[in-house]
Structure 1
């Protein structure tokens, strides 16, 4: 029996898998250099950009923290600030004079008549106590007047009100005619901030602004310090007539009475008060732009 050993005699090494052609892409030296340079340039640029942004952020934080630390140091060290930060509404700051803010809402059809009557009879009222200013509100409210009266103490005010109630001319010639012209009356009691004084504007004319800053409980004194710093940086556009802290009615409110040459200049100067961030102290803000009446001491 003959066996076919043809395949058995073939060498094992001769059985190979089909060869594969491997193609390699050749990269030119110029392309390789450009790729490495671009990668390094991109990495360096990103590092520099990140460093610049970080330094900008750090500088801003340090500036704000520095100002906050300065205000907090003043708040901690100044006894006047501590007195003005009290939560009680019964005591006045520093034991000084108190100021009554009175706001009258006038019937729209009687606004001119009311101002004319007040002009003619205001001398009957100023015979009893000092009038600081009397204004007609132009923006922020309609048919409204705002006036400030000064008293030495609460007992002084009580005595003045009692004397007015007995003044027949005041009652007969003014009150009896003025009351029907009004729709409502409102009043608040405030005191000057320790660093503030009432100063007259540089000249007559212009407009006044009453800005009311409502703060968190106990934050009015620190906000007053912010207002003091801002008034120093006003660059002459704003004249701060006086700054008050609410005592009765709005105990956590700071009032800034300011004067401007015109309503347009007041609008332009708003950017100067944008720095009043208040570090989270401010809850609300209201403003009124007013014209002084002809019989107002502050003009």
Structure 2
């Protein structure tokens, strides 16, 4: 499978920079599928997907400034990964993932950042004018997936799928089979599968690590000839509305490289 974020915030809210975990249950009948969402979320841990749209002339300076001051931000919460968007939609974007224990934790981080004078003065205030727009999305990791570790430095692909209304109870099993069929191809490493809680609902993000873009292209050609992958994808796309992807380059300070 090949490859969103919804809450646009004001500059005052940019101090936060920084899923409902999609659980599965037996598929409902078509009459009630639009109301079915799956089992309740059992754990508080979630991730925030942030996308900053930067002025083209300021992107290099913005990233240099963040690299110098990243320790001030990560003192408050865990950075999972930080990437520049190479292609797949609008460029001059940075995409980053932050981890929180629960919503109380995120609120506490927000308050701490707002009162962190060093963070405000050294990074936030000087760089606000470099940012055109910010998008934020809250996601939970699906129950059948854990955060993966890349085998070495490489590149990443974020594949985003807008599924039909009904939630994982409707399309979760088919989606899992399609992802795992690609995992078995072994041309990429699954890092995480995330289900949106706040943002555009019924959206799933799949984050892959790949050694390089050519390895990804070669692996895709193999998967197109694999009858198991083809069958799994054909089943899953019955529940798919829109699909897109981004090719991501990790920054030097990103924990995921």
TM class, shorter-chain normalised? 0.7 to 0.9
Unmatched 5+ residue regions in structure 1? 1-73, 78-84
Per residue, is there more helix in 1 or in 2?
1
User: For the residues of structure 2 that align with 1:146 and 1:135, how far apart are their CA atoms?
Assistant: 5
CA RMSD across the alignment = 2.1
Correspondence for 2:67: 119
- Count of equivalent residues: 216
| CA displacement, residues 264-287 of structure 1 (integer Å, 9 cap, x when unaligned) | 121233352654232521000110
Greater Rg by CA: 1
**Partner SS, residue 119 of structure 2:** helix
**Partner SS, residue 94 of structure 1:** coil
Q: 1:295 aligns with which of 229, 253, 256?
A: 253
> Is the 1:193–1:224 Cα contact (8 Å) retained in structure 2?
no
User: For the residues of structure 1 that align with 2:169 and 2:95, how far apart are their CA atoms?
Assistant: 24
TM-score where L is the length of structure 2: 0.78
Correspondence for 2:16: none
Deviation at 1:228, TM superposition (A): 2.7
> Is the 2:37–2:168 Cα contact (8 Å) retained in structure 1?
no
Q: 2:123 aligns with which of 158, 163, 174?
A: 174
User: For the residues of structure 1 that align with 2:175 and 2:250, how far apart are their CA atoms?
Assistant: 23
User: For the residues of structure 1 that align with 2:170 and 2:190, how far apart are their CA atoms?
Assistant: 18
**Partner SS, residue 162 of structure 2:** strand
Q: 2:233 aligns with which of 276, 286, 290?
A: 276
TM-score where L is the length of structure 1: 0.68
Correspondence for 2:47: 99
User: For the residues of structure 2 that align with 1:242 and 1:279, how far apart are their CA atoms?
Assistant: 20
> Is the 2:156–2:248 Cα contact (8 Å) retained in structure 1?
yes
User: For the residues of structure 1 that align with 2:71 and 2:192, how far apart are their CA atoms?
Assistant: 24
User: For the residues of structure 1 that align with 2:76 and 2:47, how far apart are their CA atoms?
Assistant: 15
Correspondence for 2:92: 143
**Partner SS, residue 42 of structure 2:** helix
| CA displacement, residues 129-149 of structure 1 (integer Å, 9 cap, x when unaligned) | 000000011011310000000
User: For the residues of structure 1 that align with 2:167 and 2:106, how far apart are their CA atoms?
Assistant: 28
Correspondence for 1:184: 133
